[in-house]
Structure 1
Amino acid sequence: MSFPDSVCTVVVTYNRLEFLKECIQGILDQTSPVDKIVIVNNGSTDGTDAYLKTLQQPQIEIITQENLGGAGGFHTGIKRAYELGYEWIWVMDDDVEPFKDCLGNLLQYKDLSKCIQPLRIFSDNNEVFKWEHYFDHRTCMPILHHNISLENKDFCYVNTACFEGMLIHRDIVEKIGFPKKEYFIAGDDTEYGILANLYTNVLYTKTAIMYRKRVVVSYKIRPLQAYYEYRNLFLLRKNIKPYFPGNFSSIFYKNLYKDCFSKIKIILKGKEYPFSEKKLLISKMIKGILDGKKIYKNK
């Protein structure tokens, strides 16, 4: 049984306590109140657990689990929100903070789409995160449009989505299931948006806004990121192939290696990376590709 027009927010967190506090406060301050907040704590070790125990609001539910990555966290949270019967599920990482009217503005489009994506701006300088892109199923990579469609109108349609603010209807969850845990990080929301787009027109709007937090260290490529971004390209390709039949191997590998070599150049030239870190990152990228090939070949 579902509750008409109800909204459950799902937040996944791991070791970003200060950002998490701002995220939760932003949700609580919404001019269109949410009915439920499910917070999935992926085994944080920075005091998050103690903080979450202080939250006494009756609509907040805490789920603590081992660190299953963002993908495992969103699987748990979306599954819980769906099973509780909420009509809309509003999904976000711990490093975003919605403007007070964000949810209300998202819901203005509920008759146009069952998967709605807000605009994000960086909190340190109010720079717009130019996220608009078209996902190319041949390469499993995005073709960037840099929000061109939003210059003279309030929304546009895209063919994928992101867990930084995605508002998704339970009808879509019923059709495509829950995010796949095996991604761990990177690519889980891309696939979810691709599958959602098979059943609804994914809408991206500039009228609903969230802050996206960042710190200096976030500009650097992280070892986990270096590994999973390439490993998960193969997982993504394998998972969406039944929906986009065709042999695109030459295009896929050409773009994969072009992207990889480009990142290697950035790492080698980057003064912020010591030699040992450069060596580690490049080895992680290569391992990600090799492990990804094994996943893809394992039918």
Structure 2
Amino acid sequence: MRYRIVIPVLNQLHFTRQCVENLLAHGTPPEAILVIDNGSSDDTPAWLASMPQLPSVRNPVNLGCGGAWTQGALLSGEADWVVLLNNDIVSGHAFVPAMLDAADRFGLDVVSCAMVERELDYPLETFTAEFVAEMRDVLRRGWFHGVCFAVRRPVFERIGFPDTDRLLFGREDSEFLWRCRRHDVPVGTVGAALLHHFGSITQDAIRRETGVRKFGDHRYFYARIGLNWWGRQRAKFARKAQTRRWVHEERAAHGRTLHMVHAGGGWEHR
């Protein structure tokens, strides 16, 4: 099997069903999808039980994103690539094969696709075709995002699986990216594939239910990767400067970027 798509979920059945149906509609075989139910209390378990052709695992407790990613990766031992995917996405094409083809072309071992976030009030299929035709050769080397990233199997053998530390809440992808950079794993985000991300649906629901405004502790994350206060400031400055360069170069050459936000009828480039 070339790839297995691992989708951790916690409630939000509408988005899970929409994501899975979108993948199937664009040719993804059901057996290439693995849904990890992190203890949902809505109708998610019943829906998964009604889909026997769709592989799934139900955890009695919420293992967190990192725990579910690692669980899915361990259960996908036959796949060359493990694609770690949020459930609050849709796409206008078969984005996973397109993303992996681009990774092979650019020599990447971890890869993300381009992304539009927030409001889906534009013609997705038409926009996607135009975007990919224009941006297929664009690459942001050295960065991937946590909404969707694919990992070539040998990377896990080399640097380990995503961190299962629950105190990293929301920063598991950043910790994994840091490890990739430290060990010179080639990573990047490509314009040859595009998805639409509705935007942290599960985390927003948890915030509303619990009243928690911010998850995790950024100081704990930076301590885990060995950065003191000055190291954090240098890392933030370097990241923001690099992002500004990417945005400037992509907009100048193509009029769009690999990370856009669509809200209120306008576009923001990130």
Map of 1:91 onto structure 2: 84
Q: Distance in 2 between matches of 1:250 and 1:193?
A: 20
- Deviations along 1:18-75, one digit per CA (max 9) or x if unpaired, are 0000111122233464752211101111111111101121x52333331122222222
Matched, 1:65 2:60: yes
Task: List alignment gaps of at least 5 residues for structure 1.
Answer: 129-150, 242-246, 257-299
Q: 1:154 to 1:31 in 2, by over 3 A?
A: farther
> Residue in 2 aligned with 1:39?
35
One-letter amino acid of the counterpart of residue 167, structure 1: A
* Distance in 2 of aligned mates of 1:183 and 1:125: 35
AA at the equivalent of 1:226: K
> Matches of 2:112 and 2:101 in 1, distance apart?
12
Partner residue of 2:223 out of 230, 238, 244: 238
Q: Does 1:7 align with 2:3?
A: yes
Give the C-alpha shift of residue 188 in structure 1.
0.2
Instruction: Give CA deviations for 1:130-172 in whole Å, capped at 9, x if unaligned.
Output: xxxxxxxxxxxxxxxxxxxxx9773223434233110110011
- 1:188 pairs with 2:172: yes
SS of the counterpart of 1:108? helix
Instruction: Give the corresponding residue for 2:109.
Output: 114
**Secondary structure at 2:102's aligned position in 1?**
coil
| Structure 2 equivalent of residue 249 of structure 1 | 229
Q: Choose between structure 1 and 2 for higher RCO, CA contacts under 8 A separated by at least 6 residues.
A: 2
State which of 7, 24, 30 in structure 2 corresponds to 1:28: 24
Residue identity opposite 1:65 in structure 2:
P
Matched with 1:292 is none
User: Corresponding residue for 1:18?
Assistant: 14
SS of the residue aligned with 1:226? coil
Indicate how the Cα distance of structure 1 residues 30 and 167 shifts in structure 2: closer, same or farther if over 3 A, else same: farther
Alignment of 1:207-218 (within 5 A): 207-214=192-199, 218=204
Cα 1:31–1:72, aligned 2, differ >3 Å: closer, same or farther? same
TM-score, normalised via structure 2 length: 0.69
Aligned partners of 1:210, 1:250: CA distance in 2, in Å? 36
Matched with 2:142 is: 159
Describe the SS at the equivalent of 1:181.
coil
CA shift at 1:115, angstroms?
A: 0.7
User: What is the alpha-carbon distance in structure 2 between the residues aligned to residue 70 and residue 22 of structure 1?
Assistant: 20
Matched, 1:200 2:195: no
Fraction of identical pairs, as percent? 18
Amino acid at match of 1:252: R
Match of 1:177 among 135, 139, 160: 160
CA distance in 2 between counterparts of 1:95 and 1:204 reads 19
Contact 2:89–2:198 (Cα < 8 Å) also in 1: yes
Question: Which string of whole-angstrom CA distances, capped at 9 and with x for unpartnered residues, describes residues 202-221 of structure 1?
Answer: 12112211121247x95997
What corresponds to 1:51 in structure 2? 47
Per the TM alignment, residue 240 of structure 1 is displaced from its structure 2 partner at its CA by 2.2
Tell me which residue corresponds to 1:148. Answer: none
Partners of 1:160 and 1:194 within 8 A in 2 = no
Kindly tell me the number of residue pairs found equivalent between the two proteins: 218
Counterpart contact for 1:10–1:38, Cα < 8 Å? yes
Give the 3-state SS of the residue equivalent to 1:238 in structure 2.
Answer: helix
Mind listing any 5+ residue stretches in structure 2 that lack a counterpart? 125-133, 237-270
Q: Give the RMSD, CA atoms, in angstroms.
A: 3.2
